Amino acid sequence: MSTFKNRPLRARLGFALHGIAHGFTTEASLRAQALLGALALVGLLVLRPAALWWALFLLAASTVLAAELLNTAIEHLADELGDRHTEGIRIVKDCAAAAVLIAVAGALGVAAAFLVHLINN
């Protein structure tokens, strides 16, 4: 059994925060996505849209960041497990990257819908 199972909430939160910190220090794409999310947040603060737009933004932004962190974790694990040039490892890494791409596409869809909403109102 893992020594990380059934730890107190404070310890588990520490593990999660360490993972976020690692992602931000090692992944340029995570930093770029967080910066774009922060800029969008500033835009929402200025425009003050309805609560539904805030919810959609937070859901989209958190999905992108979570997907990027999962991609980072999968890439590190795949690199530890085996030869980086095997077909299986390549497929795992490609699928993880595709998950990030799909999350980003969804976030861009929310942004496009918001822009249409602004134009029509």
Domain ranges of the chain: 28-120
- Residue 84 pLDDT: 67
Mean per-residue pLDDT of the chain = 93
Contact between 79 and 98 under an 8 Å Cβ cutoff? The reply is no
DSSP 86: S
- Residue 82 pLDDT: 73
d(CA 118, CA 49): 9
Q: What is the pLDDT of residues 51-95, one digit of tens each?
A: 999 999 999 999 999 999 999 999 999 988 877 678 888 899 999
For residue 2, name the pLDDT band (cuts at 50, 70, 90): low
Q: What is the CATH number of domain 28-120?
A: 1.10.287.3610
d(CA 78, CA 95): 12
d(CA 35, CA 48): 20
Tokens 């590190």 map to which residue? 76
